[in-house]
A = this chain, B = another copy of it.
Amino acid sequence: MGGHMARNLLKKGYPVVAYDVSKDALEALKKDGAVVADSPAEVAANVTRLVSMLPASAEVQEVYGGKKGILSTVKKGTLLIDSSTIDPSASQEVHALAQKQGAVYMDAPVSGGVNAARDGVLTFMVGGPETSFQQTKALLDQMGKNVVYCGPVGTGQAAKICNNMLLAISMIGTSETMNLGIRLGLDPKLLAKILNMSSGRCWSSEVYNPVPGVIEGVPSSNGYKGGFGTALMAKDLGLAQNAATTTKSPTPLGSLAHQIYRTMCNHGYSGKDFSSAFLFLQEHDKKK
């Protein structure tokens, strides 16, 4: 993800100072015109605008607050934009640390996946001080097509995990419903058509139907390859559950969806697209 994003900046003529734990990734970026650094601290010492893209809360905390971290060298007034999907409260903690150094931290998780990163058409959901939003948007516009302001720091994350929780619920719901309908004798294409003209309609039934053959060109019609992996969905649902526990918000279906995606991971579905919930639910009785 990060590589594609940096390349889009380079293409648009922005100078880039880059760091990555992978030497190969760094080397490739160097060939494309980036200056490479030895550590997050070295990047921060040389820029006034910085974008980070990391796997989880722990890495963000280390890359910002660690020994050779960004905050050890960050200059006053620097704009820090973190595009990782992490716990909203982790974003708030890093924000507070950045503030002490006089820097501005925005959370800006993305939706759209690797292809959208490559094509520069990501959607960014941005949380942080409203006064820094225009400057943030100006930079993110180089890498995406939608940049939405969500509110104070952490609300970018909140919007992202809320969307993905509802997505998981409606994907499993669509899978259950299609499977039940098929077993009751309905043709899957016809059932999808009826749902989509009725109140059961959702993105998962309409645009990304989990039953093979109902829609062409989506993962379910291609062996559940590509798309958004079940393990990544399970991770985002874990963040949603943490946020729900912190705010004492009841999320019965979100919580059960989390358990189902976790069980799917344990049963071998980690690498398949998350629409493989249909595959998991439609299995027929068989002796082991």
Contacts and interface: CB of A to CB of B under 8 A. Distances in A.
A186 B88 CA distance: 12
A262 B183 CA distance: 15
Contact of A255 (B163, B170, B208, B259): B259
B287 A265 contact: no
Nearest to A260: B252
Interface residues of A, number: 90
User: Which residue of A180, A207, A247 has the most chain B CB atoms within 10 A of its CB atom?
Assistant: A180
Copy number in the complex reads: 4
Contacts of A200: 162-167, 170, 203
Contact of A173 (B123, B253, B283): B253
Interface in A239-288: 240-245, 247-260, 262-263, 265-272, 281, 283-288
Interface in A144-168: 146, 148, 150-152, 154-155, 158-159, 162-167
Interface stretch (A26-34, A130-138, A190-198): A190-198
Interface of A: 88, 111, 123, 125, 146, 148, 150-152, 154-155, 158-159, 162-167, 169-170, 172-174, 176-181, 183-187, 190-191, 194-195, 197-205, 207-208, 231, 234, 238, 240-245, 247-260, 262-263, 265-272, 281, 283-288
